[in-house]
Structure 1
Amino acid sequence: MAAKDQVESWTEEAICPICLDFFTDPVSLECGHYFCRSCITQSWDREGRNSCPECREEFTDRILRVSRALARLSEKARTLSLNQTGKESKLQCEKHQEELKLFCETDKTLICLVCAAGREHKSHSFMPVDEAVEIYKGQVKSTFESLTEKESDIQEEEQQQKENISGVQEESHNLQSQVTSQFAELHQILTEKEQCLLGDIREEEAKIVKTMEKNLQEIQENLNSIQEELSKLQEQIDHKDGVMFLKG
C-alpha cells in the first residue's frame, strides 16, 4: 500500500495542471511552472495574454523552454499507470490476495486456490473460472433468448392492442359523425316544420284579426253615430228658450 502511495505521489509530478493528464511535449515558463506546449499556447490564445495559469505572472514574449527530463518522466509515469491499471483489472481474493481462479458452485462465488483448500469450502464443488463463465453465459444466453421471444410476443400483443384502440376510436368517430348528421337532418326537418306551423298560425291570426277589425270598425261607426246623436240631443236639452226648443 505504501509503495502504491509513493508511485501515485511521484506520478502526480508528471501531470499537466491544465489538461490534468501526463505531460505531452512539456515546456517551462520563465516563472518555472511546467505545462504541455499545446495546453499553454491554447490558454494564451484563449485569454489573449501571456500569463502563467498557476501564478498569474505575465510575460512580454512567449518564451517556452523544452524539458526533456520531464518528458521522459511523464512517459515512464504513463507506462507505469497503464501497467498498474492492467494489474488491478485482475480480481483478487480479499482474504489471501491471490487471483480468483475458481468458482464455487455451492456458494456461487469466486474463490482463490487457497480458499478452495480451506475448511470453509470443504466438500464444495468447484470449477475453473473459464468453465463457469461458459456455463453461466449459456444460462444467461438461454434466458436472453427466452426473454427475447417473450419480448416479441409482448410487442405483437402491444401492436394488436394499439390496432384495437385505433379501431374503437375510428368506430366511435364514425358513430359520432352519423349522430351529428342525423341530428342535423332532424334539426332541418324540425326547423322547416316550425316555420310551417308559425306560418299557419300567422295566417290564421291575420284572418281572425281581419274579421275582428271589421267588426271593430262597424262598432266604432255605430258608436260614432250614437255619440253624434247624443251630442245633438244634448244641444236641444241645453236650449233655454222653450219656443225655440219646440220649434227645433
Structure 2
Amino acid sequence: MAAAGGHIQHLRDEATCSICLDYFKDPVTIPECGHNFCRSCLIQCWGESEAEASCPQCRERVQRRSLIPNRQLANVVEIAKNLSLQEGKEEGGKGGVCEDHQEPLKLFCKEDEAPICVVCDRSKEHKHHEVIPLKEAFEEYKGEICRHLEILRKEREEILAYQAALDKECKDLLKLTETERLKTVEKFRELRQFLEAQEKRLLTHMEEVEKEIAGRRDEQLARLSRNLSSLERIIQEMEEKSQQPASELLQVRWWQEQPKAPGKGCPFHVCKECRG
C-alpha cells in the first residue's frame, strides 16, 4: 500500500502545474523544451508584451504561438483527481462508509467513477452499471495512468530529440555561414590589394608620361627660342641695311645670294618639330 501511495503521489506531481502548484487546467506543452503548464498560467506569467517569451521552468526562449494543447495530460489529470479522491475514501476504508447506507465502500462503479457499497450495487441507480472491486479498480486505474505516463514520456523524449536536432542544425548553419563570411572577407582583401597595386602602377606610369611630356615641351621651347633669337637678329640687320643710302644698299646683296630653298642651315628655317 505504501508503494501504491508513492505512485499516486508521483502521479500528482506529474499532473501539477509548477506555476500555480495545482492540477493542470487546459494544459499546454512548450515544444522548445517539452515542459507543461496551464495555458492561463503562462498567459498571466508572460503578460501582454509581444517580446520573446521564455519557459518559466528552464528559461528556454520560446515562441508564444507555438504552444501545443496536451489532451493526454488533461486525461491524466482527471485520473489523478479521481485516484486522489479514491485514495482518500480508501484511506477511510478502515472506517469509510457509504453516506446513504452506512456500509463499507468496497466496490467501484465505472460509469459513475466513484466508490460504492454493496447496497448501492443492488440499487436501481447502479443496476445496469459495471461494478468492480475497489482494489481492482485501483489497479486498473494505476495501469492506465502508467500507460499514459509512458506515452507522455515518449512525447517528451521526441520533443527533446527534435530540439537537439534543431539546435545541431542551427549550429551547423552558423558554422557554414561563418566560413563563407571569412572567405568573402579574404576575397575582398585580395581584391583591394590588387586594386591598390594597379592604382600604384598606373599612377607611376602617369608620372613618367608627365615627365616625358614636360621634357619634350622644354626641349621644343628651347629650340623655338633659339630660332626666334636668330630671326630677330637677322630682321634687325635687314632693317638696319634698309636704312642705308641707295648707293650702299645696292652694293650689299648678300641676302640675295642665300639659297632659294631654305634648309637646316638657313637662318629663316624653322624645323618641322618646332612648327608642330
Structure with larger RCO (C-alpha < 8 A, sep 6+): 2
Q: TM-score range by the shorter chain?
A: 0.3 to 0.5
